[in-house]
Amino acid sequence: MGGRLEHNHTNDDAADILAIQTAIDMGVTHFDTAEVYAAGYAEELLGRAIKKYNRSKLFITSKAKPINFKHDDLINSCKQSLQRVGTDYFDLYLLHHYSASIPLAETIGALDELVRQGLIRNIGVSNFTKEHLADTQNLTKNKIVCDQVHLSLEFREPEVTGLLKYCQNNDVFLVAWRPTGKGKLAKDAPPIVQEMCKRYQKTPTQIAINWLISQDHVVTLSKTTNIAHLKENLGAIGWEMAIEDIELLQKEYPNQKDVSDTVKLG
Ligand SMILES: NC(=O)c1ccc[n+]([C@@H]2O[C@H](COP(=O)([O-])OP(=O)(O)OC[C@H]3O[C@@H](n4cnc5c(N)ncnc54)[C@H](OP(=O)(O)O)[C@@H]3O)[C@@H](O)[C@H]2O)c1
């Protein structure tokens, strides 16, 4: 929302704010943003949208970009993100990507300091391999609660690398980004998904999201500015597919990929 890596000055801010507020009114509590999204403008939009709501009922996540992983830079980054969102704390704060150029121990020390100061309540990582996730857990006094990574019916890297199993075995949430393949899964549903749509009387997007959250320790993030899509996507929860169907989709969904052909920065 608000642009990709730069602020898009032609963005329809009112539509984004309305979508966030409608989501809250419909019971959504978790909002995911990052300092890199629209160069901080996405955080500002979120801040404007949540102003009239009770902050304590929301769960807000933001992320720091690797260039800010030195100790003092990370503390400053977090404070600036908090200011843009207009809140005193983040429920969850993530390292957006692994960085090989700044010692992980220094960055984790800063995250622990942010927890100590009460500016963040939980820490996590994003786009980390299972090895980097394990290293991170060994360096912090706190718990690494999640790894936010690309996972969908179509994109299976975390299954193939064992990251998903690692998360399930170590009580870490895998937060799946791009659950609908940016809307693509709604348009080109293969026969196996169409069959599930008929069986459960759901849309392809609802099947794609439900399939993710039916898995142990998997939650997901879905982005939309379109209120009809918001309602559709919320219809992905509150019901369950049979285990055989979950497994069938896992095995038989066609053209599964485990290497990203999209831009890495999310
Ligand atoms: N950590 C990372 O590196 C990273 C990377 C990417 C994303 N993320 C996070 O994950 C969130 C979701 O990921 P994403 O935006 O890449 O993927 P996504 O939620 O799969 O796709 C969003 C796109 O799909 C469209 N869409 C949503 N619901 C739809 C529906 N029911 N029917 C048709 N089209 C639909 C949206 O358009 P409309 O707005 O028109 O509905 C939007 O263009 C992001 O907002 C971000 O918070 C994190």
pLDDT in tens, 117-127: 999 999 999 99
User: Which residue's entry shows tokens 């026969």?
Assistant: 191
- For the chain, what are the domain ranges? 1-150, 179-254
pLDDT digit string (tens) for 39-56? 999 999 999 999 999 999
Long-range contacts of the stretch 193-197 (C-beta < 8 A, 24+): 193/153, 193/249, 193/253, 196/241, 196/245, 196/249
Residue 179 Cα, ligand 1 centroid: separation in angstroms?
Answer: 7
Residue 116 Cα, ligand 1 centroid: separation in angstroms?
Answer: 33
For a mutational test of ligand 1's pocket, the pick from 174, 177, 232, i.e. the residue with the most ligand atoms closer than 8 A to its C-beta, is 177
Identify the helix (H) or strand (E) that includes residue 95. strand 92-95
The per-residue pLDDT for 265 is 45
CA atoms within 13 A of residue 20's CA, in its CB half-sphere: 25
- Interacting residues of 149 by C-beta distance below 8 A, sequence separation 6+: 126, 127, 128, 157, 158, 163, 174, 175, 176, 177
| Residue 150 one-letter amino acid | H
Ligand 1 neighbourhood includes 97 CB (under 6 angstroms): no
Rounded CA separation 192/195 (Å)? 5
Ligand 1 neighbourhood includes 62 CB (under 6 angstroms): no
- Provide the CATH topology of domain 1-150: TIM Barrel (3.20.20)
Strand partners, 30: 59
Question: Which of the residues in the chain have pLDDT under 50?
Answer: 263-266
Q: Is 155 helix (H, G, I), strand (E, B) or coil?
A: strand
The per-residue pLDDT for 259 is 84
